[in-house]
Amino acid sequence: MSASEIAAWVGAATGSLALLWDIIKWSKTGPRIAVTAAPNMTGYGAAELILGNKPCVLVEACNVGDGKTTITHLVGFYYDSWLKRLFRRKPTTSIAVLDPSPGKVPHVLDKGERWVGMMEQNEELIRMSQDGYLFCGVYHSTSKRPVLARLVIPTP
């Protein structure tokens, strides 16, 4: 193998790796939302005056990316089968929360910021969580699909 052939192979390999690295960097740029959902949250202190003694589901959205986005909706989706969720079929039940107090929508979420919203935890939500697959999450302005987290409400 001559020196020019070795140089050609090295050039082809480094060019391919550079292209792969640019694709990885491109896929990681922009806003990325991480969502968590916590059940059985009750108010304490001043929050107890606002919420009463009702349990709520707390949904937190954090922007872990490097760009801005706007939280537009707090939603929930119930699937009676994990196959429906896996193959992105229409959910059995869809939930939209109009007033996710203390969070407001729409809300601009800059990089590194977090947004917190709540939904009332009722018997129907508990049933959906235990009978099938319940997901809570947010829609944001830079994606057509919601960012979801599975919600499992344990029995008392």
**Residue 30 in contact with residue 142, Cβ under 8 Å?**
yes
Give the per-residue pLDDT at 156.
67
pLDDT, tens digit (0-9, with 9 covering 90-100), for 125-156: 999 999 999 999 999 999 999 999 999 999 76
pLDDT in tens, 3-15: 888 888 989 999 9
16: burial class by Cβ within 10 Å (0-12, 13-18, 19+)? exposed
Mean pLDDT lowest among 21-30, 48-57, 143-152 = 48-57
3-state secondary structure (DSSP) of residue 39: strand
The enclosing H or E element of 59 equals strand 56-63
Q: Name which CATH class applies to 31-151.
A: mainly beta
- Boundaries of every domain in the chain: 1-28, 31-151
The string of DSSP codes covering 105-145 is: SSEEE-TT-EEEEEEE--HHHHHHHHHSEEEEEEEETT-SS
